[in-house]
Amino acid sequence: MKITFMLLDAFTIDGTVRSTITLANELSRRHQVEIVSVLRDKDAPVFPLADRVALSALTDTRPGAKVRWPHAGRARRLMDEPSRLVHPEERCYEYFSAWTDARLTEALRRPRTDVLVTTRAGLNIAAARFAPSGTVTIGQEHLQLGMHEPGILAEITEWYPRLSALTTLTVADREDYERLLPRGTPPVHTIGNGLPERLYPRSRQENRIVAAAGRMVWLKGYDLLIDAWAKVVDKHPDWRLRIYGEGPRREEFRRRATRLGLYNHVLLMDATGDVEGELAKASILALPSRAEAFGMTIVEAFACGVPVVGFDCPRGPREIITAGRDGLLVPPQDTDALAGALTRLIDDGELRRMLAAGALASSERHRVGNVADRWDRMLAGLRAG
């Protein structure tokens, strides 16, 4: 079976890109797999891609890249025109253009694959519109339904029923999409993201470090974490908080930490390509998100034997963390409760080590081999149908 994954940009650092490449690498042990990237501006992907996985791009903006004759003039003209295929409320609309419209339409009408998996709303809708009926089309939703704006939500309602299947990262998201779409059109499956099959560094639970990782944006709640950490530091001034990531609110978070007198206690670290290596240096992962589609950082922390303390925010965390077994959950956006839970694990080394052992055990169900098994079962059913 040939499986084609379509990404907006396979050459950037992004959670969807990382999880897609991880899954593609694993499925390529069992099937013929390729990744098609709408955009390309680098020579190679950031995340390791197995030699078995073919990689191509529909548009190439690398310096010196040439569009093959006779399309060069048309490409130059259309690159400056806005997309009419993708709805302006698509969260990455700015990266689409009239030229990507042309290339996407051509690729989707003649996909040359058995299974086409698209990975964001704009691509899912385009696949539903243009892919031939003989191709199994699977739309992946990495966003909660409520995060879509009304205009693109209307297009989702119109076009998603034409997909062969839709996958979500959580059961709660699946239930939302099932309520929105006509019954059984398409069938909606919950399949989370997977951990690559390899050895992970292990936390020794000795370093006085709490880690957090992800984009520095409002949704991730690092302002709430910094407020909570001010309370933790009062009792444990020898512990440090390290927040890894980049984003538009980085400077705002730095100023907040400084204003609270935490300039020696909160370290804003650069984004890293070795998330697990940095997590293994910590003893606790903090997850202060206001909402999480899945929470891949939770699973990565589990694989390193790091328990998680987080808000019981909508969707992902409550389906991954088992409170009292591999972490602790507190009411959403309650900074006092977050500070209390962090302090509890700092004070109680025995409890922390027990949760660390539980985290390691919990990580097994998220191994990409197990995730790929679920994909195979879904694909077998779709092909048979």
User: Tell me, what CATH number does 339's domain have?
Assistant: 3.40.50.2000
- Asked if the structure places residue 377 within a domain, the reply is yes
Report the candidate in 355, 243, 380, 377 with the shortest Cα–Cα distance to residue 305: 355
> What average pLDDT does range 175-197 have in this prediction?
92
- Asked if the structure places residue 7 within a domain, the reply is yes
Residues 362 and 372 in one domain: no
Count of positions (residues) in the chain: 385
Whether the Cβ atoms of residue 18 and residue 215 lie closer than 8 Å to each other:
no
Residues 184 and 321 in one domain: no
- Asked if the structure places residue 201 within a domain, the reply is no
Per-position b or e across 307-330, b if 16+ CB within 10 A of its CB: bbbbbebbbbbbbbbebeebbbbb
Residues 213 and 151 in one domain: no
Please check the confidence at residue 69 and state whether its pLDDT lies above 60: no
Residues 188 and 232 in one domain: no
Residue 384 confidence (pLDDT): 80
Banded model confidence at residue 173, pLDDT cuts 50, 70, 90: very high
Give the highest mean pLDDT range of 58-62, 271-275, 377-381: 377-381
CA separation for the pair 162, 284 (Å, rounded): 44
Residue 44 confidence (pLDDT): 93
> What average pLDDT does range 191-208 have in this prediction?
93
pLDDT above 90 coverage of the chain, percent:
81
pLDDT in tens, 322-346: 999 999 999 999 999 999 999 999 9
Residue 68 confidence (pLDDT): 66
Please check the confidence at residue 20 and state whether its pLDDT lies above 90: yes
Please check the confidence at residue 18 and state whether its pLDDT lies above 60: yes
Residue 328 confidence (pLDDT): 97
Residues 33 and 146 in one domain: yes
CA separation for the pair 362, 10 (Å, rounded): 29
Average of per-residue pLDDT values in the chain: 93
- Asked if the structure places residue 202 within a domain, the reply is no
Banded model confidence at residue 203, pLDDT cuts 50, 70, 90: very high
> What average pLDDT does range 168-186 have in this prediction?
92
Residues 171 and 293 in one domain: no
Domain containing 309: what range? 209-366
Full-model pTM: 0.87
Q: Tell me the one-letter amino acid at 36.
A: V
Residues 353 and 372 in one domain: no
Residue 346 confidence (pLDDT): 98
Residues 313 and 297 in one domain: yes
Residues 26 and 128 in one domain: yes
Whether the Cβ atoms of residue 306 and residue 280 lie closer than 8 Å to each other:
yes
Residue 77 confidence (pLDDT): 85
Residue 184 confidence (pLDDT): 81
Q: What is the CA radius of gyration of the chain?
A: 22
- Asked if the structure places residue 249 within a domain, the reply is yes
Residues 157 and 100 in one domain: yes
- Asked if the structure places residue 204 within a domain, the reply is no
Residues 362 and 336 in one domain: yes
Residue 143 confidence (pLDDT): 85
Tell me how many domains the chain contains. 2
- Asked if the structure places residue 243 within a domain, the reply is yes
- Asked if the structure places residue 290 within a domain, the reply is yes
More confident residue, 151 or 314: 151
Residues 24 and 145 in one domain: yes
Please check the confidence at residue 359 and state whether its pLDDT lies above 90: yes
More confident residue, 96 or 146: 96
Span between the terminal Cα atoms of the chain, in Å: 15
